[in-house]
Amino acid sequence: MPEESTTPDPVRLTRLAFEAVNRRDIDAVMSFFAPDAVLDGRAAGGLYEGRAAIRGFLDDWFGSFAELRMEVEEFVVVFDEGVVLAVVSQEGRPVGADGQVHQREGWAICWSADGLLVRLTTHPDIDEARAAAERLAESRR
């Protein structure tokens, strides 16, 4: 009988992380990040290294929205090296505003063998996100 893999499924981990985001459970969200994780959102204005910096960014991001929902529209590619490329849709209502905002982007997400998120790179262009995911996967080989 073949042994079952003990490596966490990166798609499942990604879905669980999004569930925590949509509950606005910042402690649960942070539990997915490795201590030295990097959130690279430079396309939107920021690079955050380590849990404290990432938490500060997420506290500010969540705090700026009265309503916020993020959905993975599709997993475009899942690489064997724990790298996921996801197309993400965000819908929200900023604090003090009546209208909704919408954002769609590609996220290259890199998971460690022990199931922690080590790098998240966001791109407004899906093709750029795909290239970033391919580079991440190649760097892990």
> Residue 4 has what pLDDT?
53
Alpha helices in the chain (DSSP H): 10-23, 26-30, 51-63, 126-139
pLDDT value of residue 16: 95
Half-sphere exposure of 122 (CA within 13 A, CB side): 18
pTM listed for this prediction: 0.88
Considering the domain boundaries, does residue 2 fall inside one?
Answer: no
Q: What's the number of domains the chain is made of?
A: 1
Instruction: Indicate which CATH number applies to the domain containing 35.
Output: 3.10.450.50
Task: Answer yes or no: is 1 within a domain.
Answer: no
Report if residue 30 sits inside a domain: yes
Residue 67: C-alpha distances to residues 61, 64, 91, 94, 114 (Å)? 11, 9, 8, 7, 32
Model pLDDT, residue 1: 45
What is the domain range of residue 90?
10-139
Residues with pLDDT less than 50, the chain: 1-2
CA distance from start to end of the chain: 28
